[in-house]
């Protein structure tokens, strides 16, 4: 004679395990969240590579690589040639 934990407890534990597995999988495999799409501006003549710059045509970054290092999927980098 068992203690009454036979198949019922095993079934409950398996059900709990599978529920947790599905929940964790959903959290792990959801696409990473990025901030809103950003446009960065670059102008070699008037730009400054520093925090607080690059997010408007009036305060561009100096180097395109500085802007590229900050980008996420969907972001845009505009250089002085396509601002016209």
Query: What's the pLDDT tens digit per position in 28-51?
Result: 555 566 568 999 999 999 999 999
pLDDT of residue 29: 56
pLDDT of residue 15: 77
What are the CA-CA distances from residue 58 to residues 40, 41, 52, 55 (Å)? 11, 9, 12, 8
pTM of the model: 0.56
Instruction: Kindly list the averaged pLDDT for each block of 10 residues, start to end, along the chain of length 84.
Output: 61 75 62 77 94 94 95 91 56
User: What tokens were used for 9?
Assistant: 């407890």
Q: How far apart are CA 72 and CA 36, in angstroms?
A: 10
Question: Does residue 33 contact residue 72 with C-beta atoms inside 8 Å?
Answer: no
């Amino acid at each position: 004679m068992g203690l009454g934990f036979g198949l019922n407890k095993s079934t409950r534990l398996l059900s709990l395990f599978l529920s947790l597995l599905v929940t964790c999988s959903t959290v792990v495999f959801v696409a990473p969240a990025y901030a809103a799409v950003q446009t960065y501006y670059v102008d070699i003549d008037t730009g400054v590579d520093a925090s607080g710059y690059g997010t408007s045509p009036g305060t561009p970054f100096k180097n395109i690589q500085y802007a590229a290092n900050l980008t996420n999927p969907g972001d845009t980098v505009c250089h002085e040639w396509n601002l016209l």
